[in-house]
Structures are given as structure tokens and as C-alpha cells.
Structure 1
């Protein structure tokens, strides 16, 4: 059957880092992708870092999951075109946030484990109401995930990764069993088959726990038979006794079963993308029944640059049915972006009465039964009165008059119209009379209420007061600079001393030539923790590549030996 309307497309993969240094305008980037739902991983954005240009993109509604453990770490975000707005949204996999439900049987996890698995901001779920090409209306859940990386030097992170996989599968299968179509996409941090890795390790490739998990997740027709035949295949499902497996299809492999070199991630330190020496670790998985009725195509977009990953895209035959408004998790409802927050300075501004109000407002401490309480002008005046009664103990007009009086009293007549003083004036002596006047004024200001102190200090720091006051002890300690006799003392330093420093410190010799290409090598530094951290070495300057590729980096390696002090 033909689809009446534009097909819906989905993109997974960290297309760009959503940090403050992102030079590409998000609206321009998103429009170039021609996608209705865009899922980003490893955003490294926390709630306090999220700014309006990132959160509010014209034509899109967005949803963020933040790491609560540390700043600049992990995080995922989902951007939906306004024509593809979800009806529900939830953060995390435990089911605690949002109204999507279907958490599945989580009895094998402790409360501490569930809290920890959701604390790194690695999952977002948006639920859409869609109409298929045959007119059937279904609910579709899009699970955007950034799965943990297993650090080989930390056993606790491997355990964390496997528990995250278990919780992810539990939630995804629970949604399917409740009748939803499910799209699970993102950075899975696992290469499924040997053709998904540039140089697979034949020794233990099939026995890696993450690979075993991903293989058992897939429908039987999409599994790798070699992994499926491993004797310890049951090692991972033992931690997830309530999942079934075999419910999902790898959309890209379903359409491109034997395509090689379709990698989605490359090492930027070794310029491995130049030789396409990478791995396929970004996936779009769809439940089998959804694939059968809607999947049109799936591609790896290696031409999209700007990250160490590239996007993956699928096209399905379905149209979104928009709700009346976005779900509460949408960033446009956050107080800092919804325009509902009031600035602290608003409480110190004298209120103007609305001319449309003819009668005088009732007393500020009116009863709740007063019908005039709902008037917006009166409500704002009451709020101001509550703050000034409990905090300031004065009305705003009294405070302004008091501050103006202090300002007139402490500002000298020769202050130049209240202009800010130059930095040089801080080092000039003043007469004792002016010092005494200012000190007395400050002592008077200290005796006022706490709120006046706050305002007066702001006035003093803003430059309205004469701040050219420097204690004699400070001015006397500043040495006088002798006038130059026409020559610069700095530039008159003998060249022999400069050469002496160069001879003492030395320098790196010209880089050696690599043995494979006879080209100058590149200098690198060990950043991995261990005994060699900080040491420098030379290696071939070419991009990393397959061992059979003569144009790729050769195996030349040479440590830099530090000179011993004689």
C-alpha cells in the first residue's frame, strides 16, 4: 500500500557534541539531516550548562537526560520536529520518570542498582502515536540510549555495563509485550559481527559478554551463528531471568546483510577515518513485527563529519499523529526557558499601577475569599509586600529614597559626574579629609538594615561612589619606577644569556623517519594511566589503518630518552 504523506525518518548517533563550543547552528544542522526525530548521544551537557540556543531550536521540541554524577559526562538528547511531537516522554529506564510505564520485572535489581543505572543520563524514551500505511494506529516508543563503555582496567564498569544491558532489554521487551512498537537506537558500544570491526580479535571475539548479549537480543534470522553456538551463551541471560531475547532486528543488517566497511566510529587521535579503520557500534534496532510492516531503508551516513561517530538512519512508512501539546519533559516547559521565572531585581522596582484599574486595590493582607485577589496587578503587589515584610522591612519607595540620600551624601562634588575612576587613581594619595568622610559614610551604611547594605554595596561597586581610596601602607610599598634614559632595560638583556638558557634546556632533535614510508614521524604523549603516563614517543604520522593497507600507518615506534643532567 502507498503512504499518503511524507515517510518518517529516524537518526541515531552523536552527530555533534552539544557543548558551548559547537560552531554549527543546530537548526541548520538538523534541517540538513532531513529527519523527523534526531537522537544524540554523549551530549556532555548538565542542567546548569543547558542554554536557550541549545534547548530551544525553532521548528523542533527537545528532551534531555543529564548525568547526575558529574559534569561534562554522558547525557542524551532527542529532538523532534513539531510535526512529529511525542505524546509522552520519560527519562531513564527504571520507569520512575514520565508516564510511559511498562518498566518490566525489575525484581532482580536492587534499589541502589536501579538508581545508579539511571544516574548517568544514558536513556530517554519518547512515545509517539503513529498511523501506518494501512491506516492502523499504533503507539511507538523510541528509546535513545548511550550504553556504557567497559573499561578493561575496571571490573566494576564491566559489571555496570552488563547490568545496564539487562535493564535496557527488560524495559524494551516490556513495552513490546504491552503492544507498542519499539525503536531502540544509539551508541551501543558493541560490534556485533566480525564484519562490523576492522580487525576482529579471533581469539576471544565470540565470547565477549557484550557481544553475546547483543546477539541474543536479535531475532534468530539476524543472529551471528558463530556467537550463537558458543557454549557459554547462557552467561549473560543468567543476570536477566525475565527476558526472552530474539525480539529485535538490526535494521541496517536487515537491508544490507553482507555490506563491509559500514563503520560508524573511528579513532580521531590516529586519523583512522581517513582509511575507514573503525567499528560499527551505533545501531537502530526495531522489533520484528514493526520491521515487517514499515521498514523502507536503513543507511550509514559516513559522509556526515564533525564527530568521531557518524549517523545511522532508517526510513519507515508511518505518519505521526500530533498531540495537543508536548509532554511535560519537553525543555520548553523548563522554568528557565518558559519565561515564568522572575529576576531578583524585579522585587526592588517600584510597581506601576495599571491605568485600567479604576478602584484602589484592597489591603495587601486581604482574605482568600476576596474576589479581587485574582487580579494580576494585585497579586504582584501582594507578592512584593510579602517579600518586603519578611526580608526588607521597608517598602521599595523608602529603600530608593534612602539609597538616593546615601548616594548624594557619599559622592564627592568633584567625582566627574559619577564616572568610573581609572586604575591609576587607586595608587594616588588622597587628603585625609576625604578619607575621613568616606569612612564615616561607610560606618553609617553598616548601621542600616541588611537589605540597604546589599543595595549600597552594589552602588559602591558599580562606580557611582569615589573609590580612589588606598591606605598609606599600600601606596608606600609601591616602588617608584625610574625614568628610562632612552633604552629599554628588558630588550637590553644580553643575547648570551638567552643562548645560555637554550643550551641548558636543550630541545627536541628533528623527528626520525619511519621505517615503512621514510617520512618524518609525529610526536605523541602517553595519556593512559600507568607507569608510562606522560612519556613521549615517535610514531608514523600516517592515519591508522588495516595491517594489509600499505598506505596506512606503519608499526614504527620509538621512545624519547630524556637527557641526564651531568
Structure 2
């Protein structure tokens, strides 16, 4: 199993880079990651700009968190490859798990920490995954308070989970360099910050206190490559990490960087975990037995649950229980004049009408053809109906049925008229669906008010 983290620097613009520009396919992009859990940071999009192609990628479930303070800023996403599925999903760092005493230590309004779409926390059973785009200080003192309050809140959440016996995986752009070996030019960094000790910065000290041996998490990249100073064609700082709690070491295999993946100023980093482990009885234990494969999909962060991606066809709103029956092409057969032959000639017609007529076919507020043949005499003087009268009544009823059916078909193919609003009693305005989908090109009406 592979977990991958990538600061993508704009989900919508990634496909402009080679080789993704050749296919313009997010599925090709995700498949190239060769990962089961793909964690993206800095997606820089809003929900209303998330396209169906971004959200509904075949073979993956996409979960998203957006900035609520600034459009096109920050934002994180996690694509989970089927059949793996998290047990629960949340975007909040500040929750009821954090005590009032801890909240009181923050210099930032706690509600503001969850407004920039910086995190997705997902419970996979074996571990709780934190996909986080940590804040930058921006050179502003107030922003440094925000940054460090966010860092401290993440640590508090993780510590509480670890105290409960849970395992933690923290991935993302931490926006902090741990050691001088992780920096392309550490001497210049010392000059830029005016410090003599490389770790004499709040965010670097925080990271140093999180990592072993001082903290609970292992830096998988440095664990796999203890002496690596950089990679070919890369001159930068290592601020993207995959950190795991030590209870996951038995599952951990290796970690590395994907320098071959283009599309951002960051390179993806990944950590591989064994799919199976030998136990004491020399049996193979599969990691999927410990991971969440929940069938629960009720979460607002899953893009497949967005109403805009569940668009119904307009035709579904016009379904009716009553169906219009096409005209019977069989010509009418009039009965013979003689009483002796009329019964035999009309009998098939009478059986047909008896079986097809029902109360549901009665017409309201409409004169039937048969009404024009009603007797004008007093009912008491009306002659007793004969079999010929019954036959004629059946024929007239069939004519009425065909007349109604013809009217129905004429109405169906008639050019629809623009309706009036039932509230304001004014004529509606006509619009056309321009959004791509099953309803594109269809017309609909809105109240002009």
C-alpha cells in the first residue's frame, strides 16, 4: 500500500504540464502516482469551480476541503483508490477533543484556524491520516501567531489520539525545514533569518519536537535515506513529509520522492507499507484486514455526494402515471342492419370495448360525441334500449376514445408556451441549460421577478 503527498500548486493548472497536457485526464494523472491514498495540498480551487472531471475520477473517491476566507487559496484534497474507504472524515483541527485549557493558550480565534481549508483528517482504522497544508508566516508577526497556533493544535490532536492507543500518519507541506541537510543553502537561511542556530525558529523547533527521538513520529523519508542531501535537478528545501507513529513501523517498508512527476514546484513524496506480514504462526496478515473498507458514504467532503454532480435529467420531472395510448389503427366495423346478424357482427367489438374501458378514461368538462345523439324526448317516453343501441353506444364510445387520444398526441407535439408564475401571475422568462451534462441545450423557465 502506498500513501503519497504532493503540494500540487493548483489542481486546475496541473494538466497544463507535460505529459498530462497530452491527455488532459485526471485519471491518468492519479494512476501515474501508483498510490492507494493520494494527498494533495494547495489545490487552489473552490467548490463551484470543481469540475466533474476533477471530482469524479473513475476508480477513486475524491474528498475536498476549501478555503472559506479567500477564493482560489489553499485547499486540500485526498483521492482514495477503490475499494479502500475511510471510516470517517473531518476538516476541522479545532474540535471538542481539545480542552478549554488548551484553547486558552491560543493567540488566534480558534474558529479562524479552520477557515482556510488546510486539513482533512481521515480515520482508516489502522491509523488516522492528517493531510495538512501548514500555514506560512508570510513575514508578518500576526501571521506567525496564526501559523504556530495551527502547528500546536495539530500536535494536540495527534497527542490525544496517540494517548488513546491510535496510530497517526501526518502528511503534507509542513512549511518547515528540520535539519541543515534538508536545506539547499543552510548558510543563506541563517543570514535571511538573522540566526546562528538553524533550528532557532518556532516552526523548526516544533518539527524537531514532533520527530523522534524527541517526539512520537518518524520521518519516513529521512529514515529511508539518512544521508541524502538532494536529488538530481532539484535545488530547494525539504518541507514535504510523510510522518508515522512508531506503532506503524512493523508495516513500513520504504519512502522516497517522485522527481519524475511534473506539474508543480514541489515533488511528490511517498511511503510504502507492506501488504502482508508474517505473524507468529507464520501466516500472512493482510493490511487490508486492518484498514477501513466501510461502505458508509455519508460525508459532506466526498465530492460524489455534491448535489451538482447528481444532476437529474429534466425529463424526470415530467413523468406521469397516466400514459397516452396511441390510436388503434384497426378501422371501425359497423354492425349489420338485420337483428339476426347484428349480434354476431358486433360481438367482437363489444368485447374489445368492455376490456379496454375503465373509469380512469372518463373525461371531465368535455362533451362526448355520444352526447349529440341523446334523445330529446322525456325519459319516461324513451323506448327501451335494444341490442343495436348497445352496439351503437360502443362504437360512439370508441370514437370518443380515439378523439381524446388524438387530442393528447396533438398536445404532446405542440410548441410549448411560456407559463406564468403561479405566485406573481406574471409571464416567466425562458432559459437554456449551458452546463455540460444530460440537460445541456434543454429549456427551462424562471419567474421574471
TM-score interval for Structure 1 and Structure 2 normalised by the shorter chain: 0.5 to 0.7
Contact 2:40–2:78 (Cα < 8 Å) also in 1: yes
Contact 2:10–2:45 (Cα < 8 Å) also in 1: no
**Deviation of 1:123 (Å):** 0.4
Q: TM-score, normalised by structure 1?
A: 0.52
Name the residue aligned to 2:130: 143
Report the Cα distance in structure 1 between the residues aligned to 2:423 and 2:245, rounded to whole angstroms: 67
Whether 2:271 is the aligned partner of 1:314: answer yes
Report the Cα distance in structure 1 between the residues aligned to 2:174 and 2:50, rounded to whole angstroms: 25
Name the residue aligned to 1:64: 64
Name the residue aligned to 1:229: none
1:20–1:151 distance in 2 versus 1, CA, 3 Å? closer
1:207–1:326 distance in 2 versus 1, CA, 3 Å? same
Report the Cα distance in structure 2 between the residues aligned to 1:75 and 1:89, rounded to whole angstroms: 15
**Deviation of 1:336 (Å):** 1.6
1:451–1:313 distance in 2 versus 1, CA, 3 Å? farther
**Deviation of 1:453 (Å):** 2.2
Report the Cα distance in structure 2 between the residues aligned to 1:207 and 1:145, rounded to whole angstroms: 23
Report the Cα distance in structure 2 between the residues aligned to 1:325 and 1:354, rounded to whole angstroms: 38
**Deviation of 1:145 (Å):** 0.1
Name the residue aligned to 1:125: 121
Q: 1:371-386 to 2 correspondence within 5 Å?
A: none
Report the Cα distance in structure 2 between the residues aligned to 1:314 and 1:210, rounded to whole angstroms: 23
Residue-by-residue CA offset, 1:103-141 (whole Å, 9 max, x unaligned): 343533269722100000000011113xxxxxxxxx311
Report the Cα distance in structure 2 between the residues aligned to 1:33 and 1:325, rounded to whole angstroms: 26
User: What 5-or-longer segments of structure 1 have no aligned partner?
Assistant: 1-7, 97-102, 130-138, 224-245, 263-272, 362-397, 408-444, 463-566
Whether 2:158 is the aligned partner of 1:172: answer yes
Q: 1:453 aligns with which of 416, 424, 427?
A: 427
Name the residue aligned to 1:196: 182
**Deviation of 1:289 (Å):** 2.1
CA RMSD of aligned residues (A): 3.5
Contact 2:14–2:264 (Cα < 8 Å) also in 1: no
Residue-by-residue CA offset, 1:380-403 (whole Å, 9 max, x unaligned): xxxxxxxxxxxxxxxxxx9x9997
Report the Cα distance in structure 2 between the residues aligned to 1:149 and 1:170, rounded to whole angstroms: 19
1:107–1:453 distance in 2 versus 1, CA, 3 Å? farther
Report the Cα distance in structure 2 between the residues aligned to 1:259 and 1:21, rounded to whole angstroms: 28
Q: 1:286-435 to 2 correspondence within 5 Å?
A: 286-291=244-249, 293-317=250-274, 318-319=287-288, 320-328=291-299, 329-339=301-311, 351-355=319-323, 404=417
Name the residue aligned to 2:406: none
Whether 2:199 is the aligned partner of 1:206: answer yes
Larger-gyration structure (1/2): 2
Residue-by-residue CA offset, 1:206-239 (whole Å, 9 max, x unaligned): 211110110011121xx6xxxxxxxxxxxxxxxx
User: Aligned with 1:83: secondary structure?
Assistant: coil
Report the Cα distance in structure 2 between the residues aligned to 1:331 and 1:92, rounded to whole angstroms: 17
1:353–1:85 distance in 2 versus 1, CA, 3 Å? same
Contact 2:8–2:43 (Cα < 8 Å) also in 1: no
Residue-by-residue CA offset, 1:31-54 (whole Å, 9 max, x unaligned): 111100000000011121112111
1:21–1:145 distance in 2 versus 1, CA, 3 Å? closer
User: What 5-or-longer segments of structure 2 have no aligned partner?
Assistant: 275-286, 325-357, 362-410, 433-440, 442-449
Residue-by-residue CA offset, 1:68-125 (whole Å, 9 max, x unaligned): 00110000000001122111111121237xxxxxx34353326972210000000001
**Deviation of 1:449 (Å):** 7.6
Report the Cα distance in structure 2 between the residues aligned to 1:332 and 1:86, rounded to whole angstroms: 14
Report the Cα distance in structure 2 between the residues aligned to 1:458 and 1:38, rounded to whole angstroms: 40
Q: TM-score, normalised by structure 2?
A: 0.64
User: Aligned with 2:79: secondary structure?
Assistant: strand
Report the Cα distance in structure 2 between the residues aligned to 1:315 and 1:35, rounded to whole angstroms: 9
Name the residue aligned to 2:368: none
User: Aligned with 1:278: secondary structure?
Assistant: coil
